[in-house]
């Protein structure tokens, strides 16, 4: 099973995704690691990425998903996946579970201001919310509780949907 933990920058994708991968007993990847250097530099400079910037990045990520699936490996991926078209590219066969980390702009802005050592410029948060198309059919979770609680809530939802059992049988 492939689970994409999605949301705007600062919503907790990497932290929650890592905790979820531990609970699932599988690997974790941060989609940021798939960005070409030019994209990273644009974000560091506070320049929003365009769709033209994102398509090669998303295709590289889908290629990795195909590899994990071919090997029969489950994986949790932290990825913004802000638009429906991006999610369609990441899951063309409806073979990926999306978990949407939902929070207010105020909460997330506070987290971004407190974050150290990340290249994502906090000034880009407004553009992230502007691009966000909230996903229909995703598991949606509130990010207000501590990250461990959020990961536990996701596991409970996966289990309730029978998805965690599916992973164990694979």
pLDDT digits over 79-104, tens only? 999 999 999 999 999 999 999 999 98
Spans of all domains in the chain: 2-169
How much is the mean pLDDT over the chain? 88
Instruction: Specify the pLDDT at position 29.
Output: 97
Q: What is the CATH number of domain 2-169?
A: 3.40.50.300
Please answer whether residues 127 and 32 qualify as being in contact, where contact means their C-beta atoms are separated by less than 8 angstroms.
no
**pTM confidence score:** 0.87
Residue 27: how many CA atoms within 13 Å on its side-chain side? Answer: 13
For 121-139, write each residue's pLDDT tens digit: 556 677 788 889 999 989 9
Higher model confidence: residue 119 or residue 87?
Answer: 87
Residue 105 to residue 61: CA distance in whole angstroms:
27
């Amino acid at each position: 099973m492939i689970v994409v933990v999605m949301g705007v920058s600062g919503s907790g994708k990497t932290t929650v995704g890592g905790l979820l991968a531990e609970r699932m007993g599988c690997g974790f990847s941060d989609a940021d690691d798939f960005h070409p250097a030019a994209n990273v530099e644009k974000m560091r400079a506070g320049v929003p990425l365009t769709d033209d910037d994102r398509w090669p990045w998303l295709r590289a990520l889908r290629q990795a998903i195909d590899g994990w699936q071919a090997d029969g490996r489950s994986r949790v991926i932290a990825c913004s996946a802000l638009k429906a078209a991006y999610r369609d590219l990441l899951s063309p066969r409806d073979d990926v579970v999306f978990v949407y980390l939902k929070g207010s702009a105020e909460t997330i802005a506070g987290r971004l201001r407190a974050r150290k050592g990340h290249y994502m410029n906090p000034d880009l948060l407004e553009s992230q919310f502007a691009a966000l198309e909230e996903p229909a059919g995703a598991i949606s979770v509130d990010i207000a509780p501590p990250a461990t609680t959020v990961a536990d809530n996701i596991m409970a939802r996966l289990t309730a949907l029978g998805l965690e059992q599916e992973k164990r049988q694979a």
